[in-house]
A = this chain, B = another copy of it.
Amino acid sequence: MACLLGELAEYAGCRLKGNPSIEIDRVCTLHDGRPGGITFLANRKYARHLPTTTASAVILRSEDVSSCPVAALIHDNPYASYARIAGYIERHDTGQAPAGGIHATAVIHGTAKIGKGVTLGAGVVIGANASIGDNSAVGPGCVISDNVLIGENADLHPNITIYKQCTVGHNALIHAGVVIGADGFGQVQDKGEWIKVPQLGRVVIGDNVEIGANTTIDRGAIEDTVIGNGVKLDNQIQIGHNVRIGDHTAIAGCTGIAGSAEIGCRCTIGGMVVILGHLKIADDVHITAQSMVTKSIKAAGVYSSSTPLQTNARWKRNYARLSQLDDMARRLKELERQLKAGG
């Protein structure tokens, strides 16, 4: 069933130029527009596709409206408006409520509290004293251990494991294969062998958090690992014990954060970044992909440490010199001294 363009404009707070009765039933791209499709123009790189788009409507900034051959929804942040409208269409299309119901094969401990409108998939295990908030859905194969608390409107995809005592806030979106609350890596050496340090803290996750597939978040050693409100984590991220991540920070895939690192609010951290433990990163810090953070970062800003790609032949010549760099620096200084003395 289609939505009306006027209804979408109103929902997302956009100014409409065009017919409010146009029916929209899908999203599409600017270069591959479809009848009934809505799209957006945010990145100037794609502006060349606007004059010829065959979408039924485009969300764009006011300066682009004159080049738009079809109906336009005008907003300062077209991508955010697109996100809102796409979500609206998706919910309209599938019906907002999940399938609902508790599968006959779910194994629920007698002391667990299951809220109203909760969906539990096949083979789900809910432990003693665990609690699943109203209207939350837990996918097949998930294991929710004893004393875990999950808020309302949470959406847990299949095969997730949450260890005992961890808590997850409202509106969580957690993807398949995620592990929350496994032991932190606490090992202490004694006479050439490793003794395990028991991991007795929890993982405490705020509201409106998204966690990508196969990401792992370890429980604290004594105190808790804490993920703030509105934090967004991509796939295959590893978060060590006692890490604290501030509100509205977003982290891209494959990044690893070692124990007791403290990350500020509104940071963005690129993919495959390494953040060492026992350090502190200020609010509003942005770290580019494949960087490594070894010390605290005290000032907001953008930071990097990755090295440029070259053809393998040039790389061999240039990067081999890295083992002579200190020597080169000393020789350069000596030449300067000689020239100065000579001059």
- Where the two chains meet, the residues of A that have a C-beta atom closer than 8 Å to any C-beta of B are 27-29, 32, 39, 77, 79-80, 82-84, 86-87, 90, 103, 105, 107, 121-123, 125, 139-141, 143, 157-159, 161, 163, 173, 175-177, 179, 182-183, 185-190, 192-198, 200, 210, 212-214, 216, 218, 222-223, 230, 232, 234-236, 238, 240, 248, 250, 252-254, 256, 258, 266, 271-272, 274, 276, 286-295, 297, 301-326, 328-329, 331-332, 335-336, 338-339, 342-343
Contact = CB atoms under 8 A, between A and B. Distances in A.
B311 A303 contact: yes
What number of copies of this chain does the assembly contain?
3
A90 B294 contact: no
A319 B329 contact: no
B238 A218 contact: no
A-B complex: 8 closest residue pairs judged by Cβ atoms: A161-B176, A302-B312, A143-B158, A182-B213, A179-B213, A80-B190, A304-B315, A317-B326
Contact of A318 (B86, B254, B326): B326
A286 to B, nearest CB: 8
Contacts of A80: 188-190, 195
A271 B290 CA distance: 13
Contacts of A308: 294, 305, 319-320, 322-323
A250 B309 contact: no
A182 B143 contact: no
Contact of A122 (B107, B193, B324): B107
B200 A176 contact: no
Nearest to A288: B312
Contacts of A216: 177, 212-214, 235-236
A339 B281 CA distance: 46
Given A107-B123, A173-B196, A289-B292, 6 more contacts: A83-B197, A157-B163, A179-B235, A305-B310, A306-B307, A318-B322
Contacts of A158: 125, 143, 161
Contacts of A316: 304
Nearest to A307: B305
B311 A292 contact: no
A123 B253 CA distance: 30
A98 to B, nearest CB: 12
A260 to B, nearest CB: 11
Contacts of A83: 186, 188, 195-198
A234 B185 contact: yes
Contact of A335 (B143, B294, B320, B336): B336
Contacts of A213: 161, 179, 182, 216, 218
B248 A192 contact: yes
Contacts of A254: 238, 254, 256, 274
Contacts of A317: 326
B230 A194 contact: yes
B79 A188 contact: yes
